[in-house]
Structure 1
Amino acid sequence: MGRAPMGRAPMRQPPDAPGILSGVLAGLAGGYLASLAGWPLPWMIGSLLGVALARCAGLATTPLPAGRQAGQWLVASAVGLHVSREAALALLHHLPLLLAGAVATLLLTLIGIAVLRRGGVDPATAFFASLPGGASEMVNLARRHQAQPAQVAAAHSLRLLLVLLLVPALFGWGLPRLPALSAPHPDWPALALLLPAGLLAALLWRRLGQANPWMLGPLLLCAIASASLDLQLALPGGLGQLGQWLLGCALGAHFDRAFFRRAPDFIVRVLIFSLLAMLAAAGLGALLGLLAGGHGRALMLGSMPGGITELGLTAASLQLSVALVSAQQLLRLLLVMLLAEPLYLGWRRLASQRSRRD
């Protein structure tokens, strides 16, 4: 009695319409107020804060179904279309230096490991919480190595929030602003081909089991098309803002009162090592800019422990080289995906050998 008949699929839960509406309204309010205040990336940062504050106030909000994927698709497409042929040639010219910089940014993981280990965090959790990689991939590796997945997810979510709140503001307000460039007009027939093609690339990337399909698929396709054909395209403003808003609402759903009440010492240590890593990344980017003979601001931005989508969009809004910023982030992501587990296993093997000698 009470068992579902054989052969019948379990019933799906109906969408939480009131929760979705609350999230939509909170995100719209936050994005609109941030745009009035003149914030950088207002519809992403404002909607993130709006949803997060609503959840911290006890308001039940539910993310839009597939909202994060749709937001990544639109934002990644916008970032990819900013990659011009000239920027792609500069990227190829500086590729060895960018690869060296991506390896150097991996060393920033040592800051997080040191800070978290002093707080009594176990080695696996400290390692995967400190790597500048995607949260979902690091959580999967944390589960595989008996770490604390909730703490790893919290560390990556909090660091992303910190980067989104500080980095665009510092680069937009704390440094000299460049003269505004005239934005290219949207070419609707070309966009009608590229946007669905980017969606298909995301689905193919996901089918192949690759990391971050909804961001890397559209970004790479649009960047290759824009650079090789010298398209000079851009998404219309409303479509780009829609992508920012969808992504910001999805990110804000990670935060509530329980998140900030959970292990306050751990959260403080995550904030400390995130700030230290950002300072170290800024110094590294400045050094790369000197070695490259220019592009100092773009290389500083690309060295930050954020994500390709968020920092690429920041670069586009500040008229910096989107190609250099995205390339730094992409190279680092690939290195993290390839080396995270071997590096962890090697570190634990060395620690085990040292403890046996002692």
Structure 2
Amino acid sequence: MKPDSVLRVLGTLALALVAALLCVYLETPLPWTIGPLLAVSVASMSGAPTESWAPLRNTGQWTIGAALGLYFTPQVTALVVGLWWAILLGIVWALFLGWAFGQWLYRAHAPYLSNVSPQAMRATTWFGGAIGGASEMTLLAEREGGRTDLVAAGHSLRVLIVTVLIPFGLQFSGLHGLDALPPSIREVQPGGLVLLALATGCGALLMDRLGRANPWFMGSLLVAMVITMSDVTLSAIPQWMSNAAQLVIGVSLGVRFTREFMHTAPRWLASVAVGTVTLIVVSAGFGWLLSLGTHLHAATMLLGTAPGGIAEMAITAKVLQLGVPVVTAFQVCRLVAVLVLVEPLYGYLYKRDASKKLSEG
């Protein structure tokens, strides 16, 4: 890393730490994520030389993945497996939301972005509206000829809004502390912590070598889940490590909001903002209906079906103790399903229609 990059990274981390400590003092929800996220976002959009270092972000995802996997005790795993039908409904719901959001974006912007071809506009709105990871959806949009700048900006803004609004709403409603924490979450064992780090680190590296999405999070999560489901208790993750992980994840989200971001089609960003709030409201209603069928708390189902990033929603569940395994299972299964299905669905719905029109013409 170049000296100027080192200074930018250290300066960004210092800003994030001050923001996190201020949020701790103010007793805001998710202080170690939201504080750095908002502070770094504002600084980045103001033109300040902020920078996130990828190895730190990867380490943060590795830590959070391991911490979440420790909740999957055999008893909890049996509960989650019994919810397969609800998870399947959650996947269908996410795909429907992405389709509806994309349809709305297309109708709102196709008449105004006349310099974008209909095919490129369709790819932009389809992948921009999908409830999936920003980097993955941007790559898919690029493959189909879409506007990658709009897709990336839209997903970044969606995750920011969801990450801020939902935790604040849950904290102010008084919904927290519903989980009974197993010993694997409470007791730190130095030797066991080293073994856990080595095992989950190997899982993360394997997923990275295989080119999987979110490898440092998913690889660590899966290994920690297997260990815990086998009724093996190695160690809890120290609170300071969890806080540091949340901080660097907040920084990695915040640096996406550059000065150029503010000039990225303001009408597009406004539409994404309005649409995201709508998605939160309707997802809350869907989560409430699922809670009636599963007999789980509505707050847990809200986080499980919320249109946010998997790490951010799982962190919210962990910090507020709101059904961590259920939320994680819902979000992980949705992420995998969207990554697998969103591109084939695009081809089926839109490429087939385009080919049909061309043959008829």
- TM-score (norm: length of structure 2): 0.90
1:261-287 deviations in Å (ceiling 9; x for gaps): 221000001111111111121111111
1:26-66 deviations in Å (ceiling 9; x for gaps): 11111111111111111111111121122233321121342
* Distance in 2 (alpha carbons) for counterparts of 1:341 and 1:252: 28
Identity of aligned residues (%): 33
Given the alignment, which residue of 294, 309, 312 partners 2:311? 309
Correspondence for 2:127: 128
* Distance in 2 (alpha carbons) for counterparts of 1:272 and 1:114: 14
2:38 is the alignment partner of 1:49:
yes
Relative distance call for 1:287 and 1:355 in structure 2 (3 A) is farther
* Distance in 1 (alpha carbons) for counterparts of 2:341 and 2:179: 40
Deviates more, 1:222-231 or 1:335-344: 222-231
Correspondence for 1:114: 103
Correspondence for 2:137: 138
Correspondence for 1:260: 262
Given the alignment, which residue of 29, 52, 58 partners 1:63? 52
Relative distance call for 1:265 and 1:309 in structure 2 (3 A) is same
Relative distance call for 1:33 and 1:275 in structure 2 (3 A) is same
Given the alignment, which residue of 87, 94, 106 partners 1:98? 87
Correspondence for 1:6: none
* Distance in 2 (alpha carbons) for counterparts of 1:299 and 1:354: 42
Contact 2:68–2:314 (CA under 8 A) maintained in structure 1: yes
Q: Give 1:10-49 correspondences, 5 Å limit.
A: 16-49=5-38
Correspondence for 1:166: 165
Shift of 1:172: 2.1
* Distance in 1 (alpha carbons) for counterparts of 2:232 and 2:297: 21
* Distance in 2 (alpha carbons) for counterparts of 1:56 and 1:272: 20
* Distance in 2 (alpha carbons) for counterparts of 1:295 and 1:36: 29
Q: Give 1:81-96 correspondences, 5 Å limit.
A: 81-96=70-85
SS in structure 2 at match of 1:163: helix
Contact 1:125–1:147 (CA under 8 A) maintained in structure 2: yes
Relative distance call for 1:209 and 1:17 in structure 2 (3 A) is closer
Given the alignment, which residue of 280, 285, 288 partners 2:287? 285
Correspondence for 1:7: none
Relative distance call for 1:356 and 1:50 in structure 2 (3 A) is same
* Distance in 1 (alpha carbons) for counterparts of 2:46 and 2:145: 33
Counterpart amino acid of residue 136 in structure 1: S
Contact 2:72–2:228 (CA under 8 A) maintained in structure 1: yes
SS in structure 2 at match of 1:27: helix
- TM-score (norm: length of structure 1): 0.91
Unaligned ranges ≥5, structure 2: 111-120
Counterpart amino acid of residue 264 in structure 1: P
Unaligned ranges ≥5, structure 1: 1-11
Given the alignment, which residue of 329, 336, 339 partners 1:337? 339
Correspondence for 2:154: 155
Relative distance call for 1:180 and 1:287 in structure 2 (3 A) is closer
Shift of 1:356: 6.7
1:216-242 deviations in Å (ceiling 9; x for gaps): 000111122122215384211111111
Deviates more, 1:142-151 or 1:307-316: 307-316
Q: Give 1:156-305 correspondences, 5 Å limit.
A: 156-178=155-177, 184-229=186-231, 231=233, 233-305=235-307
